[in-house]
Structure 1
Amino acid sequence: MTKQKVQAGRNWYAVHTYAGYEDAVVRNLKQRIESLGMEDKIFSAVVPTEKKIKIVGGKRKTIEEKIYPGYVLVDMIVTDNSWYVVRNTPRVTGFVGAGTTPVPFDKKEVDTLFERMGVAEPKYKMDVKVGDVVRINDGPFKDFEGAINATDEEKGKIKILISMFGRETPVEIDYLQVKKI
């Protein structure tokens, strides 16, 4: 890292890790910071996650999903010693940047990312709209097809008109139970 120009001051940096070991890297890094007395140079390490809603066994479940698998964000002042502590943490493969020079996140990028991580209530991102034809893939109406009549993004529900008993019947189901045809 020596003889490389690094942006002075405290910044957020992305550290590449082995995939699936992000939480272990954060734990190891926090232990190393404490034991090596680097609290004044390395301030925190986080695994960026967001809440998502999944349907498992017909029930809604909120899960934490990694935004950037294989990466950990570290808030630090880069010096030769702090770079060495982070870089030589078990399961860390390196900093994101050119060569051995870590490139910091822009303040705007960090704010956007933490805003995304801090959302208390998971949001639904509906990729369907009124009039789209969908197939129901879960629940009592599995394999029925119908046209979307109404959407409620706040609750994550949609109303579908399905053909049942020889007439169009409106059914309200969870958005995650359909697939666009």
Structure 2
Amino acid sequence: MSDETDYDPTPIYLDDGPSRPSLLDDDERTLTPSSEKLWYVVHCYSGYENKVRHSIEQRIETMGMTDKIFDVIVPTEEEIEVKDGKRRTVERRVFPGYILVEMKMDEDSWYVVRNTPGVTGFVGMGNEPTPLRPEEVKQIMDRMSDEAPKVKVTFKLGQKVRIVDGPFNDFIGTVSDIDVAKSKVRVMVSFFGRETPVEVDFLEVEKV
């Protein structure tokens, strides 16, 4: 699991505007009971997502809430990173500090989740927990089920890197363009005294 802890306070929702969801204040929150199974975003301490998930699952069983709380997931995806010249696949949390809970929202189910150790609150609009829209759930699930690991981008424009594979192996240059969609990076290297652009795969360069 990745150690990264920097995250957007509400990264899951697709909307971005004045009505953007935020972490609710328990003292001011309201609740509209729903008999529909919906996915909610729950904030917890970053780095403790799996522990919190396990605790919620235990509470569901011991408190007899299997008819109201159905699933708890920590969204993750596989990522390829290069370290010390070696490639390895790691599991990375998509939204550090957040878990998703599928539930029928009412006072009882809210209480079970909210009072789980490590949970700091629900995310919602105004003063009420807000469920994810179907398209948002699909986007997250598709991302989790993607079989092709993503390549971790560890460099930025203007940074000096070394090419570690191909005909320009061991050349040092400067990153001039990054194409995340194609997992390609363009590096300006000195070739016969002239600055020459070389396009290589993310995995074929390393920081100097």
TM range (shorter): 0.7 to 0.9
Distance change (3 Å), C-alpha of 1:83 and 1:172 = same
After superposition, what is the alpha-carbon deviation per residue over 1:88-108, rounded to whole angstroms, capped at 9, x for unaligned? 111101111133x21100000
Aligned residues: 171
Other-structure match for 2:170: 141
CA contact (8 A) 2:81 2:151 kept: no
Q: Which structure's CA Rg is the greater one?
A: 1
Other-structure match for 2:71: 44
Percent identical among aligned pairs is 43
Residues in 2 aligned to 1:67 and 1:158: alpha-carbon distance in whole angstroms: 23
| Within-5 A mapping of 1:1-150 | 4-97=31-124, 98-99=126-127, 101-124=128-151, 135-137=160-162, 139=164, 141=170, 144-145=172-173
CA contact (8 A) 1:16 1:71 kept: yes
RMSD: 3.6
1:4, distance to aligned residue in structure 2 (A): 3.0
After superposition, what is the alpha-carbon deviation per residue over 1:1-53, rounded to whole angstroms, capped at 9, x for unaligned? 89632444110000010111111100100111111121111011011111111
Distance change (3 Å), C-alpha of 1:162 and 1:37 = same
Secondary structure in structure 2 of the residue aligned to 1:16: strand
Distance change (3 Å), C-alpha of 1:24 and 1:138 = farther
CA contact (8 A) 2:32 2:105 kept: no
> Structure 2 unaligned runs (5+)?
1-25
Residues in 2 aligned to 1:80 and 1:72: alpha-carbon distance in whole angstroms: 19
Question: TM-score under structure 1 normalisation?
Answer: 0.75
Residues in 1 aligned to 2:190 and 2:30: alpha-carbon distance in whole angstroms: 71
